[in-house]
Amino acid sequence: MTLLDRTSIPNAPVAERRQRPAEVDVWVSQIAQLLEPAEIRWVDGSTRERHELLQLLVSTGTIEQLNPDLRPYSFLARSAESDVARLESRTFICTEHEADAGPTNNWREPAAMRAELEGVMRGAMRGRTMYVVPFAMGPIGSPMARFGVQVTDSPYVVVSIGTMTRMGDAALDAIARGASWVPAVHSVGAPLAPGQQDVPWPCNDTKYIVQFPETREIWSYGSAYGGNAILAKKAYALRIASVMARDEGWLAEHMLLIKVTPPSGKSYHLAAAFPSACGKTNMAMMTPSLPGWKVETIGDDIAWLWIGADGRLRAINPEAGFFGVAPGTGMRTNPTAVDALWGNTIFTNVARTDDGDVWWEGLTDEKPARLTDWRGEQWTPDSGRPAAHPNSRFTVSARQCPSIAEDWDDPEGVVIDAIIFGGRRASNVPLVVEARDWDHGVFMGATIASEQTAAAEGTVGELRRDPFAMLPFAGYNMADYFAHWLDFGRRLRRSARVPRVFQVNWFRKGADGSFLWPGFGENARVLEWMVGRLDGQIGAVDSPIGSLPSDGALNVEGLELDEAALTELFRVDPAAFEAEADDIEAFFATFGDRLPVELSRQLTLLRDRLAAA
Ligand code: GTP
Ligand code: SPV
Ligand code: MN
């Protein structure tokens, strides 16, 4: 067996014994009584501990170490075949009143759900170790930092939380000093009888991902897949945090954050919300095709935004790592990610090469002649199935990303100049549109539709409304969430400049079914237009759905893009948008009286403009 090579990871001092907050201690004993673990272990977040957990995972067959010469200190996990994505149908928002969860969430009455959970959770950790995992979301010391403690019986989940959050003693100390914290319970739901042999990826066919927003609690059962099990991420930083944000006057969003610097040297910060597997990580790590342009990464999935003391919109990335989609990530599309993954990375459900490295569709243009696929079976290019699961992922520290911005973890965040909404739309939606004002931007965000991807269970390609890319993540009534955004804009208007809002679509297809726009680094051309708009130096023309680049304003120099493709990329078909408006009306109707009147007004304005077109 190859030796685990520790030299490539920075050395952290061994933690001293910490004073455990009494409140956490009491909660842990209560949970232990319910879950009946064989052992309890408090996680300190040290490098030594990570090393021990990785060794343990290798010994149980959950992960295998990749060839250290090719991929230093990196590992491959193969999940159970049934545990590869988020499960939206098993994700519940439990509020006293059903209307507070809203029509877009699966609602359950809290007491009934508690009883159900107690049924599955009782004894769920028998024969296993319960890890107690304190974590911080956001830089510790930031006014925006929020804390939590997750218990889990999955060491794979512990090491994942270790990469994705600020995990361990520093977070526990902050809690001990009085910071409030969210309790999160996670079990894979696979208790072990005495002497029973474990499986490499324990999980349960029955799954629950449960949020109690009113009492700020999270319970998850049966899955070890990232979005279902790293509860700091979607369950906390979006579902629970969106409710905190509503109550406290800020925003918790499914957004990437970037710093864009044009040749002029003046930097801009942008936040962009696209649904799962619709391009956030790629945009966050973009290598601009335009000479002299620079894009730096602040976050790739979640942003917390608030109005700072200066009245400006500010944002932090509450996470500390990237849980990114592997397929499609290659030197041509995202060289920055490829570089970030040089080592110290956990890959899940990708394929393995014969020499012990990883591969997935899109990593290289040429397919390897032979692979072990994500299921562990022999694979050749003739196998007729993907070698990596379409939702296979990498887990890597943000610090390891070559494009990470120097101020990515600034406790005060960065000032946001523009907000972008996007989705995966084969037709109708132009490459880029600018909203008339904040309220029109909220209408754009509220009406985003996108084709489903492999990031969650469901039919890939099916079009659905995914407002603000938050359909699976808003922890309360979506209509109230819309109202919160409108109100937030009113507060911004009172204090300072309101960021501009744009909508993009990298995924429009031509008649032959291929993408019209080259995407990836070429998306910098769209950024160039946006930055020009921010500076008031570039042209736009009015259309029924917003402002489009005026003739020649989008720089397409050097692109192999024929005139017909360019025209199609920006074509606004009034009939198609009439149908879109009907669909939006039906979607809005699902919210009844709770829908803010401003959004109905925006729909009427859209119809009027379409009629006049
Ligand atoms: P989550 O982590 O699930 O939230 O996804 P994400 O929004 O970060 O999406 P990601 O950047 O991982 O991209 C998902 C898929 O879309 C990958 O296969 C990418 O290669 C592909 N993709 C990203 N950007 C573009 C683009 O500009 N054009 C095209 N055609 N594909 C893209
Ligand atoms: C997503 O599905 O939007 C992801 C991956 O970013 S997960 O953490 O599983 O939610
Ligand atoms: Mn995401």
**What share of the chain has pLDDT > 70, as a percent?**
97
| Residue 5 confidence (pLDDT) above 60 | no
How far, in Å, is the centroid of ligand 1 from the Cα of 156?
25
Task: Give burial (CB, 10 Å; 0-12/13-18/19+) of 605.
Answer: middle
Neighbour-count burial for 293-321, b at 16+ CB within 10 Å, e otherwise? bbbbbbbbbbbbbbbbeeebbbbbbbbbb
Tokens of 242: 């969106």
Q: Is it the case that residue 12 has pLDDT exceeding 80?
A: no
Binding site annotation covers 106?
A: no
Does the beta carbon of 239 sit less than 6 angstroms from any atom of ligand 2? no
Q: Is ligand 2 within 6 A of the CB of residue 455?
A: yes
Residue 561 vs residues 96, 99, 503, 567, 568: alpha-carbon distances, Å: 54, 49, 21, 10, 11
CB count within 10 Å of CB 206 equals 11
Q: How far is the CA of 274 from the centre of ligand 2 (A)?
A: 12
222 is in an annotated binding site: no
Residue-wise pLDDT tens digits, 250-279: 999 999 999 999 999 999 999 999 999 999
Can you tell me the distance from the alpha carbon of 584 to that of 482, in angstroms, rounded to the nearest whole number? Answer: 14
Q: Is 14 a residue whose pLDDT tops 80? A: no
Which atom of ligand 2 is the closest one to the Cα of 455?
2
The residue whose C-alpha atom lies closest to atom 32 belonging to ligand 1 is: 279
At residue 497, the pLDDT reads 82
Per-residue pLDDT, 496:
72
Secondary structure of residue 396 in the 3-state scheme: strand
The token pair that represents 397 in the structure block = 């520290």
CA-300 nearest atom, ligand 1:
8
The CATH number of domain 14-57+87-249, selected from 3.40.449.10, 3.40.720.10, 3.40.50.2000, 3.40.50.300: 3.40.449.10
Whether residue 401 is annotated as binding a ligand: the answer is: no
pLDDT tens-place string over residues 147-195: 999 999 999 999 999 999 999 999 999 999 999 999 999 999 999 999 9
Could you say which ligand is closest to the alpha carbon of residue 236? 2
Other CB atoms within a 10 A radius of the CB of residue 103 amount to: 16
- Say how far apart CA 160 and CA 502 lie, in whole Å: 33
Here the tokens at position 530 are 């946006």
198-215 residue pLDDT tens:
999 999 999 999 999 999
**Stretch 136-146: mean pLDDT:** 96
Ligand nearest to the CA of 272: 1
CATH code of 323-400, in short, is 2.170.8.10
Please state the φ and ψ torsions of residue 129, each to the nearest 5 degrees: -90, 135
Q: List, chain by chain if needed, residues with CB within 6 Å of any ligand 1 atom.
A: 274, 276-282, 300-301, 324-325, 327-328, 333, 455, 506-507, 515, 519-520, 523
278 assigned to active site: yes
Beta bridge partners of 187: 221
Residue 3 pLDDT > 50: no
The pLDDT score that the predictor gives to residue 499 is 96
Per CATH, domain 252-319+406-612 is 3.90.228.20: yes
pLDDT tens column, 327-374: 999 999 999 999 999 999 999 999 999 999 999 999 999 999 999 999
For residues 504 and 274, give the distance between their C-alpha atoms in angstroms, rounded to a whole number. 9
552 known member of a binding site: no
Nearest CA to ligand 2 atom 3: 276
Contact 452, 459 (CB under 8 A): yes
Give the environment of ion ligand 3: residues with CB less than 5 A: 276, 301
Atom of ligand 1 minimally distant from the CA of 507:
30
Residue nearest ligand 2's atom 8 by CA:
227
Question: Between the CA of residue 50 and those of 4, 9, 128, 155, 157, what are the distances in Å?
Answer: 12, 10, 18, 9, 11
Report whether 250 contacts 306 (CB < 8 A): yes
Measured by CA distance, the residue closest to atom 23 of ligand 1 is 279
What is the pTM assigned to this prediction? 0.96
Please give the distance of CA 356 from its chain centroid, rounded to a whole number: 29
Which residue of 255, 325, 350, 394 sits with most ligand 1 atoms within 8 Å of its CB, as the best mutation to test the pocket? 325
What are the structural domain ranges in the chain? 14-57+87-249, 252-319+406-612, 323-400
Would you state the pLDDT for residue 396?
A: 98
Calculate the alpha carbon distances from 216 to 219, 236, 581, 589 in Å. 10, 9, 37, 29
Does residue 367 have a known ligand-binding role? no
Residue 15 confidence (pLDDT) above 80: no
Closest alpha carbon to 328 in 370, 281, 396, 398: 281
Residue 325 Cα: closest atom of ligand 2: 5
Confidence of residue 17 (pLDDT cuts 50, 70, 90): low
For a ligand 1 pocket test, name from 88, 257, 281, 431 the mutation site with the most ligand atoms within 8 angstroms of its C-beta: 281
With the CA atoms of 121, 19, 212 and 201 taken in that order, what torsion angle do they form, in degrees rounded to the nearest 10? -40
Q: Is 233 near ligand 2, meaning CB less than 6 Å away? A: yes
What atom in ligand 2 is closest to the CA of residue 254? 3
At residue 88, does pLDDT exceed 50? yes
Contact (Cβ atoms closer than 8 angstroms) between residue 274 and residue 470: no
Cβ contact 147:179 at 8 Å: yes
Q: What is the pLDDT of residue 495?
A: 79
**Band (13; pLDDT cuts 50, 70, 90):** very low
- Residue linked to tokens 């972008």: 420
Instruction: Report pLDDT for 18.
Output: 67
- Contact 380/369 with Cβ under 8 angstroms? yes
CA 603 to chain centre: 29
Q: How far apart are the first and last CA of the chain?
A: 69
What pLDDT, on a 0 to 100 scale, did the predictor assign at position 6? Answer: 40
ipTM: 0.99
Residue 379 amino acid letter: W
Closest by CA position to 217, among listed 296, 308, 149, 313: 149
What's the length of the chain? 613
Instruction: Please tell me the number of Cα atoms within 13 Å of 452 on its side-chain side.
Output: 15
